Amino acid sequence: MDKLLKLWQSTGLYHVEPGQVFMIAICLLLIYLAIKKGFEPLLLIPIGFGGLLSNIPVANMAEGAGFLHMIYEVGLPTSVFPLLIFMGVGSMTDFGPMLANPKTLLLGAAAQFGIFGTLLGALALASLGIPGLEFTLKEAASIAIIGGADGPTSIFVTSKLAPHLLGPIAVAAYAYMALVPLIQPPIMRALTTKAERAIVMEQLRPVGQTEKIIFPLMLCLLVGLLLPDAAPLVGMFALGNLLREAGVVERLADTSRNALINIVTIFLGLTVGSKLSADSFLQIK
């Protein structure tokens, strides 16, 4: 009987807590939405599965010598994972249309209104003195960067400013981007006519290879000299784009936008999911 009792006490079922059960349900929901609804499946599936593993009692996979914790220490505090993903994104990006019509830069700049609006909103909420909602400036900045609609940037900034909020911010960022296809169409229909929506946008002029090669080099130098803190992220993005446009290293460009980014995406998702433990996630903040 004592052996049976000890065996029972060694199981995860004996040690499981209500918060862990709730978080397991949340992680299963993320996986369901990724598979059934197509919400950012490339990241929500590994994030959800990483959350499942981190909430299994006794396994301790997200702490100490646990597998997920070791991957986290390699990839997120060092920013290696977001930087490698940005290199892959750079190698996928064609800047031809933007170089042909530089005014389109203003569309991207408009995102800053949302970022700074959210930053001020989080600080205003903190000023109300509501228990559990005391956001520091760094925490508010990490929340606000979600408005940039870019998961790797959200993870990069949060890992630097507020790593304890990494799990919820990453999930919020990717869930937000996954919902854009649902949110955007009714807004577009409300603000435009059917004839306007039928307009086909064409590139204003052909953009030569020389322009496309000079652009990532100038981008890296300009951002690096003006904002050194952003140099790693923008630099890796520029490197990926240079590999794409150079025309002489197709093997490297292909690896960065396919095999490498896929491998890093798996590990990034698992490590973000490891931060979805009940202790760190189930807070008012």
Mean pLDDT for the stretch of residues 223-242: 92
* pLDDT level of residue 1 (50, 70, 90 thresholds): low
Round to whole Å and give the CA distance between 242 and 244: 5
- Is 280 a residue whose pLDDT tops 80? no
pLDDT of 118 > 80? The answer is yes
User: What is the token pair recorded at 269?
Assistant: 């998702």
- Model confidence at 170, in pLDDT bands (50, 70, 90)? confident
For residue 252, what pLDDT band results from cuts at 50, 70 and 90? very high
Of 65-69, 105-109, 260-264, the range with the highest mean pLDDT is: 260-264
CA-CA distance, 233 to 158, in Å (whole number)?
13
What stretch of H or E contains 119? helix 111-127
Average pLDDT over residues 10-18: 77
Please give the average per-residue pLDDT across 117-134, as a whole number.
86
The CB density around residue 279, as the number of other CB atoms within 10 Å, is 14
Q: How far is CA 281 from the centre of its chain?
A: 17
pLDDT value, residue 88: 94
Q: Quick one: CA dihedral 190, 196, 199, 204, positive or negative?
A: negative
Amino acid at 84: L
